[in-house]
Structure 1
Amino acid sequence: MDQDAFRRTYREMNERICAYEKSILSRHCTCSQSKKLCIAEREGVHCVSDEALQQCQELLETLRHQARFALKSNDDKAVLSHGKAMRLQVGGLRGLFTAIHPDHPIPELIDDIFELINKATTLYGRLENLPYQTLIQQVSAYKGRQRGNPR
């Protein structure tokens, strides 16, 4: 299957693509509102809730705007590379965990994105009130999978 046909089919089958799809598929986190699906031997992630999807997209958009310097990107609308998207998603969730649980070590696997964001909105009132400096520190600190040593 060529890439264009796959993308068209994927968008037709998955009208609510999870905002954290990359980090879920790379097994850095899970979400109670997500459901995996397979198309042509590839995996995708579907969000089962409009509320959850909107909440996640809002957090990512706000975080991306706040983390422009850390991501070395001034354009909020430009497509991020896979590495930068992973830094934003995984680093942002780790920062959110740190903001909510400052005395706990950051887990390797964030158990439930939806629950974590709900705890944050309960604690801080609104997503705009989150301590974005803490989140951005984790975005900057996150190092994705490192390449092996060249021979």
Structure 2
Amino acid sequence: MEEDEYRSTYDAVNQRRCIFEKAINARHVGCTQMHRFYLADREGVGCQSEDANRRCIALLERMRRDARFALQLTHIGGPLPHNKEIRVQVGGLLGIQTLVQPERASAGKVENAFDTLNRAEQRFGSIDAIPFNEVMKDIKQFQGRSRRRGFKK
């Protein structure tokens, strides 16, 4: 399947793409609102809730905007490179989880992004009221998996 054909089929199958799909597929984040599907030997993630999807999109846009300094970027004019996007998604959700569930600060994984966002909105009143200066520390510190360096024989 060519990439353009795959992408159009993916969009037809997945009407409401999970904005945290990269973090979920990297196995750092889970969510009760997600649903997994397989297409051409690849795994995709959709969202079951329009409201949750809208809130997550707003959250990720805010985290990307605020993460420019932590990622050493002057501006974000489009999609981030994969590793930086993973840092924003996973590091950001881990940071928010630490704020609302300090007992999970060292968990290294967000079990339920939907619950984490709900708790943050209950505690702070809105997405914009979350203290993102605290969250940025986690984005800056998060390191995805290390790059593999060739094969050893």
TM-score range, shorter chain: over 0.9
1:54 counterpart residue number: 54
2:8 counterpart residue number: 8
Q: Map 1:11-22; keep pairs closer than 5 Å.
A: 11-22=11-22
Q: 2: CA distance between counterparts of 1:130 and 1:33? A: 22
Q: Map 1:31-46; keep pairs closer than 5 Å.
A: 31-46=31-46
CA 148–108 in structure 1, closer or farther in 2 if over 3 Å, else same: same
1:115 paired to 2:115: yes
CA 29–104 in structure 1, closer or farther in 2 if over 3 Å, else same: closer
Q: 2: CA distance between counterparts of 1:83 and 1:73? A: 14
Q: Map 1:1-151; keep pairs closer than 5 Å.
A: 1-149=1-149
Shift of 1:78: 1.2
Does the Cα contact within 8 Å between 1:94 and 1:106 map onto a contact in 2? Answer: no
Shift of 1:44: 0.2
Shift of 1:110: 0.9
Q: 2: CA distance between counterparts of 1:35 and 1:20? A: 12
Q: Secondary structure at the match of 1:46?
A: strand
Shift of 1:101: 2.6
Does the Cα contact within 8 Å between 1:88 and 1:139 map onto a contact in 2? Answer: yes
Shift of 1:149: 4.8
Does the Cα contact within 8 Å between 2:94 and 2:109 map onto a contact in 1? Answer: no
Q: Secondary structure at the match of 1:15?
A: coil
CA 14–104 in structure 1, closer or farther in 2 if over 3 Å, else same: closer
Q: Following TM superposition, where does structure 1 have runs of at least 4 consecutive aligned residues deviating by more than 4 angstroms?
A: none
Q: 2: CA distance between counterparts of 1:23 and 1:138? A: 14
Write the letter of the residue equivalent to 2:90: V
Does the Cα contact within 8 Å between 1:70 and 1:136 map onto a contact in 2? Answer: yes
Shift of 1:63: 0.9
Q: Secondary structure at the match of 2:44?
A: strand
Q: 2: CA distance between counterparts of 1:7 and 1:148? A: 28
- Cα RMSD for the two superposed structures: 1.4
Q: 1: CA distance between counterparts of 2:34 and 2:103? A: 28
Q: Which runs of 5+ in 2 are unaligned?
A: none
Q: Which runs of 5+ in 1 are unaligned?
A: none
Q: 2: CA distance between counterparts of 1:55 and 1:91? A: 18
Q: TM-score, structure 1 length as denominator?
A: 0.94
Q: TM-score, structure 2 length as denominator?
A: 0.93
